């Protein structure tokens, strides 16, 4: 197998070639399903690099010290002084740092990668990479998301799928059986080297700069890295093609590589991957239930048919829209939800789960750093590093002399679950345009996510003039799904009552189990119209939000159920999220990360 002989994935090959031509192209991320050849192509790419170019692999089990450098124990013991050794980042300077499954790295390693400088442009006409590296990585989005900050750091990204045509698969098999093919990449290596020598001298006319800015603006990019990386990619492509100057055609050729992971919306559609309306059987055509609640799990249930016209209540949505009678709506289709990025705290916990990393006071969990705080878990490596520089002074003869002040202890972390409290709007306005069907589908999707993360869940329903704890804290997925199906709709919107019920529940649970972490998920359109104290409704809420924010170990998420296509939209749920300092989602943005969605859609388009 060779780089030139690699079958298909021409966009991925081009991205690697451009990074070999110009270090300022910013690295590449390959996103795709397992077994599709991402890692194979990355390793074959190494042979194209000039002699002496660093190509360093970062293993998933790497520690922070191995990444950024630390004390060289052997040399320090021999010399009797502290001697530092270079980390993986230092060894990759001026070349490539390769990471397989980058989305599975620990947060400490991710943070170090984000904070470490990449390729730098040197002032005064100098050019090159100084104390920087190009990040080359792969990931399978089905195994976990990637930090938005780290994603934006990549100059390019390519979405992969396995090749499915018979002739392609046969060619891959023959290439694997043929083994090494020396000399096959020689012509490509010469082209890259020639392009490297002239890339700095390729002019970029003003019309090309205008096209770069127009392209990024049309794709609604956040920040300005898109323009910068698109400039360097287009120039590198012009150099590789032997052109006398960079052209708008070069910009068009490389823009999919630079913009794939940055585009918020397609310039043609104005949105990204909108799902079709859910479908169901004729018996559910009006969006309400005709059967009785029964036991079941978190399996998907078909949502009713129908467009975005009048719901079963016979009313169109508006500022005061409400259902004339109480009804029980069906549950919409479930889907994968995006990951909530919750704050980490410094509290020691012994619980288990899969949502948020926390420090653990036991002997289990991942060893992340050494500390001076005494416990029963001695960090042998850190203790040796602390003692190494003093061995000559201590008269060491055979073994290493360790004193009490050298002792270091392990700080471990593991993931813990949360108590997720769903505060659900059951007012009459939720019945308009079948929104309660979609709301229940969103809550069911979140409940499934909570089951996978080993969270406990509770549910509060607010409507009419009160809030009710309809589901006390439980680990039962069946109980939660059963209770969700039977939630009714009708009456006023006592939002303050729902939030007060959540406040009381958090305080009660926290008094009994102070280690508990809470996630309050408010699901509402924000049209509060009934208070508790006689004050104006939003004045009452403004006084309530500071109390909620003071609750210990509590995070907030607001799911906005309002129809954003309505001319009379009020965006009151967004206002509540701002005052509560909560993460804010609509039904569209709640769905799984776009990278995972793109891979699934592309795989479906390729077919079996």
Which residue, 156, 180, 197, sits at the end of a domain? 197
What is the reported pLDDT for 118?
56
CA torsion sign for 85, 91, 93, 96 is: negative
Mean pLDDT of 433-441: 85
CA dihedral 118, 119, 123, 128 (to 10 degrees): 150
What is the reported pLDDT for 460?
96
Residue 58, strand partner residues:
99
CATH assignment of the domain containing 164: 3.40.50.300
Per-residue pLDDT band at 398 (split at 50, 70, 90):
confident
pLDDT tens string 128-162: 333 478 899 999 877 777 877 888 889 999 988 77
Considering only CA atoms, which of 487, 576, 458 is closest in space to residue 528?
576
Share of the chain above pLDDT 70, in %: 82
Beta-carbon neighbour count of residue 101 at 10 Å?
Answer: 16
* Domain annotation covers residue 232: yes
Is residue 227 within 8 A of residue 216, CB to CB? The reply is yes
What is the reported pLDDT for 314?
34
Cα separation, 484 vs 299, whole angstroms: 13
pLDDT tens string 492-544: 999 999 999 999 999 999 999 998 999 999 999 999 999 988 899 999 999 99
DSSP 80: T
**Both tokens of residue 345?**
């705290």
What is the reported pLDDT for 548?
96
Cα separation, 89 vs 133, whole angstroms: 8
* Domain annotation covers residue 220: yes
The H-or-E segment that residue 229 falls in is helix 225-240
Which residue, 179, 197, 215, sits at the end of a domain? 197
Which residue, 375, 399, 414, sits at the end of a domain? 414
* Domain annotation covers residue 352: no
Q: Which residue reads 């020691």 in tokens?
A: 348
Domain span at residue 124?
A: 10-197
Cα separation, 357 vs 334, whole angstroms: 26
pLDDT tens string 344-389: 777 777 777 777 778 787 777 888 888 888 888 899 889 998 999 9
- Based on the fold, state whether residues 240 and 330 are members of the same structural domain: no
Residue 485 has pLDDT above 50, yes or no: yes
- Based on the fold, state whether residues 191 and 263 are members of the same structural domain: no
Is residue 464 within 8 A of residue 490, CB to CB? The reply is yes
The H-or-E segment that residue 356 falls in is strand 356-360
Cα separation, 106 vs 109, whole angstroms: 5
- Based on the fold, state whether residues 370 and 259 are members of the same structural domain: no
pLDDT tens string 18-55: 999 998 999 999 988 877 778 888 888 988 898 889 99
Residue 203 has pLDDT above 90, yes or no: yes
- Based on the fold, state whether residues 41 and 56 are members of the same structural domain: yes
What is the reported pLDDT for 289?
38
Coil/strand/helix, residue 15: helix
Angle between helices 10-21 and 38-45 (to 10 degrees): 30
Taking all residues of the chain, what is their mean pLDDT, rounded to a whole number? 80
Phi and psi torsions of 127, nearest 5°: -145, 140
Coil/strand/helix, residue 539: helix
Give how many domains the chain has, as a whole number: 4
- Based on the fold, state whether residues 88 and 166 are members of the same structural domain: yes
Q: Which residue reads 């109390």 in tokens?
A: 547
- Based on the fold, state whether residues 373 and 428 are members of the same structural domain: no
* Domain annotation covers residue 573: yes
Q: Which segment, 72-81, 165-174, 222-231, 236-245, is predicted with the most confidence on average?
A: 236-245
- Based on the fold, state whether residues 188 and 115 are members of the same structural domain: yes
What is the reported pLDDT for 599?
64
Is residue 150 within 8 A of residue 102, CB to CB? The reply is yes
CATH assignment of the domain containing 510: 3.40.50.410
Per 3-state DSSP, the chain is made up of helix, strand and coil in percentages (nearest 5) of 40, 15, 45
Coil/strand/helix, residue 36: coil
- Based on the fold, state whether residues 170 and 98 are members of the same structural domain: yes
* Domain annotation covers residue 4: no
Residue 519, strand partner residues:
420, 555
* Domain annotation covers residue 239: yes
What is the reported pLDDT for 173?
77
Q: Which residue reads 């509540």 in tokens?
A: 576
Cα separation, 30 vs 28, whole angstroms: 7
Residue 126 has pLDDT above 60, yes or no: no
What is the reported pLDDT for 541?
94
- Based on the fold, state whether residues 333 and 391 are members of the same structural domain: no
- Based on the fold, state whether residues 266 and 315 are members of the same structural domain: no
- Based on the fold, state whether residues 540 and 566 are members of the same structural domain: yes
- Based on the fold, state whether residues 51 and 193 are members of the same structural domain: yes
CATH assignment of the domain containing 210: 1.10.8.80
Is residue 363 within 8 A of residue 376, CB to CB? The reply is yes
Mean pLDDT of 287-300: 35
Q: Which residue reads 């709709």 in tokens?
A: 489
């Amino acid at each position: 197998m060779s780089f030139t002989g690699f079958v298909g994935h021409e966009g991925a090959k081009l991205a690697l070639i451009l990074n070999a031509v110009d270090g300022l192209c910013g690295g590449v991320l390959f996103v795709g399903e397992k077994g599709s050849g991402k890692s194979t192509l990355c390793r074959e790419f190494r042979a194209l690099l000039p002699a002496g170019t660093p190509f360093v692999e970062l293993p998933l089990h790497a520690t922070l010290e191995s990444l950024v450098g630390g004390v060289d124990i052997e040399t320090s013991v021999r010399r009797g002084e502290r001697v530092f050794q270079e980390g993986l980042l230092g060894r990759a300077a001026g070349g490539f740092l390769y990471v397989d499954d980058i989305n599975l790295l620990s947060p400490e390693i991710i943070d170090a990668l984000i904070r470490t400088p990449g390729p730098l442009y040197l002032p005064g006409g100098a050019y090159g990479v100084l104390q920087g590296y190009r990040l080359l990585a792969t990931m399978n989005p089905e195994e976990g998301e990637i930090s938005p900050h780290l994603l934006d750091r990549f100059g390019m990204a390519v979405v992969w799928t396995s090749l499915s045509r018979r002739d392609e698969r046969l060619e891959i098999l023959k290439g694997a059986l043929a083994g090494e093919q020396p000399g096959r990449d020689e012509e490509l290596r010469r082209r890259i080297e020639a392009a490297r020598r002239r890339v700095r001298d390729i002019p970029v006319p003003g019309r090309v700069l205008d096209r770069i800015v127009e392209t990024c603006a049309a794709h609604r990019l956040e920040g300005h890295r898109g323009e910068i990386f698109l400039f360097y990619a287009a120039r590198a492509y012009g150099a590789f093609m032997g052109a006398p100057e960079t052209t708008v055609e070069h910009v068009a050729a490389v823009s999919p590589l630079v913009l794939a992971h940055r585009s918020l919306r397609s310039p043609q559609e104005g949105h990204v991957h909108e799902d079709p309306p859910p479908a169901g059987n004729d018996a559910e055509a009006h969006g309400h239930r005709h059967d009785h609640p029964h036991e079941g799990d978190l399996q998907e249930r078909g949502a009713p048919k129908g467009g975005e016209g009048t719901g079963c209540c016979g009313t169109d949505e508006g500022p005061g829209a409400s259902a004339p009678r109480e009804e029980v709506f069906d549950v919409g289709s479930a889907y994968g939800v995006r990951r909530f990025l919750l704050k980490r705290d410094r509290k020691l916990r012994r619980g288990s789960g899969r949502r948020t990393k926390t420090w653990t006071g036991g002997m289990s969990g991942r060893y992340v750093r050494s500390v001076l705080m005494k416990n029963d878990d001695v960090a042998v490596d850190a203790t040796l590093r602390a003692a190494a520089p003093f061995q000559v002074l201590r008269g060491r003869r055979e073994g290493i002399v360790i004193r009490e002040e050298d002792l270091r202890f392990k700080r471990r972390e593991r993931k813990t679950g949360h108590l997720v409290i769903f505060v659900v709007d059951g007012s009459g306005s939720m019945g308009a345009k079948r929104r309660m069907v979609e709301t229940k589908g969103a809550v069911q999707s979140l409940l499934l996510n909570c089951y996978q993360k080993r969270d406990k869940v509770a549910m509060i329903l607010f409507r009419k003039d009160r809030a009710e704890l309809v589901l006390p804290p439980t680990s039962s997925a069946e109980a939660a799904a059963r209770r969700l199906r039977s939630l009714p709709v009708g009456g006023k919107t006592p939002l303050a009552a729902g939030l007060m019920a959540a406040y009381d529940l958090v305080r009660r649970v926290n008094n009994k189990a102070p280690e508990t972490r809470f996630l309050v998920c408010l699901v509402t359109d924000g049209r509060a119209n009934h208070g508790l104290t006689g004050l104006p409704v939003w004045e009452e809420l403004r006084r309530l939000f500071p109390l909620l924010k003071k609750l210990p170990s509590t995070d907030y998420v607001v799911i906005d159920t309002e129809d954003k296509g309505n001319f009379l939209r009020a965006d009151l749920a967004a206002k509540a999220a701002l005052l509560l300092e909560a993460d804010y989602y609509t039904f569209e943005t709640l769905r799984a990360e776009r990278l995972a969605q793109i891979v699934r859609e592309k795989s479906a388009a390729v077919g079996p």
